[in-house]
Homo-oligomer: A and B are copies of this chain.
């Protein structure tokens, strides 16, 4: 029987290789929660929560206190009835990273039980994906050097963080563009611009002949009108990240015609809402990318299986495990060459 016997939490703190600087936030470490589900038959399933106060309002101290609550909620449920467990854990909307980790751990345990990898349970749409790597905010020289190094490592999709200094951001993109010919660019302002600054930003780049594949979250989380304004005035596709957490957020963004792209992160949505968002965005003829918070290989594993299983994403920004210090690799996937992830 695949019934859940117990759920255990474990705090794992990982240091970044160097401080990770985005608009209004510098991180030196990430405090993640490993979720271990044990079934009555002894089978184990694992997940990882990488909480974000900035995006989700989550605090790791509060999440750790949920261990007995989660046990109470899902003990005795059969992993084969995983939608029942999804429905129950959907009530954890104030703790989406824990919801994600628990929901994934359920699928991981089911996967062990029926001897079918999670990405096949989800449909096995793809066998391989290509991830980007991210250039965080720094001095102009640091950013250009970082981008050049990433390009030399073999990455062909480069994510560039902007949003704190419009003029320097434009110059940075221009200099990076010169050094990394042939790359694709995801530019992420993390809510740093006003709508009009965002439009200046993309129009200046466009005039210089630079192509941006996705311009992520130019404006504040709740400024849906501003996001729509940017979308309608940008020559490049505009994406929502912080504005798109639940499936309800995404339905509203679509009704408001506010986005071209949605960046799904399991840490914002869990598996249940992420599956819904995939279907909603595709039915609206829009596009999807998948991103991450500060997951280690255990957490990135979740997004790898989700991305391969659904096959729904044009871009994969799954690089957090590449930029933190981690002793033991915990993923059920492999990194074939610097920028490809496969089962």
Supposing A283-B276, A310-B83, A311-B83 touch, asked if A78 and B251 sit within 8 A by C-beta, the answer is: no
Give the residue among A81, A125, A254, A285 with the most B Cβ atoms within 10 A.
A81
Question: Would you give the shortest CB distance from A248 to chain B, in whole angstroms?
Answer: 6
B280 lies within 8 A of A283 (CB): yes
Copies of this chain, whole number: 2
A80 lies within 8 A of B116 (CB): yes
Per DSSP, chain A at the interface is helix
Q: A121 to chain B: which residues have CB within 8 Å?
A: 121
Please tell me if A54 contacts chain B, counting CB pairs below 8 Å: no
**How does the 8 Å CB contact mask read for A102-131 relative to B, with 1 for contact and 0 for none?**
000000000000111000111111000000
Please tell me if A149 contacts chain B, counting CB pairs below 8 Å: no
Please tell me if A9 contacts chain B, counting CB pairs below 8 Å: no
A283 lies within 8 A of B248 (CB): yes
Q: A115 to chain B: which residues have CB within 8 Å?
A: 114
B276 lies within 8 A of A82 (CB): no
Q: How far is the CA of A248 from the CA of B282 in the complex (A)?
A: 9
A123 lies within 8 A of B282 (CB): no
Please tell me if A208 contacts chain B, counting CB pairs below 8 Å: no
Subset of 12 A-B contacts with CB under 8 Å: A80-B120, A81-B123, A82-B124, A83-B309, A83-B311, A84-B311, A87-B125, A87-B311, A121-B121, A247-B282, A250-B283, A251-B280
Interfacial residues, chain A to chain B (CB-CB below 8 A): 78, 80-84, 86-87, 114-116, 120-125, 247-248, 250-251, 254-255, 275-276, 278-280, 282-285, 309-311
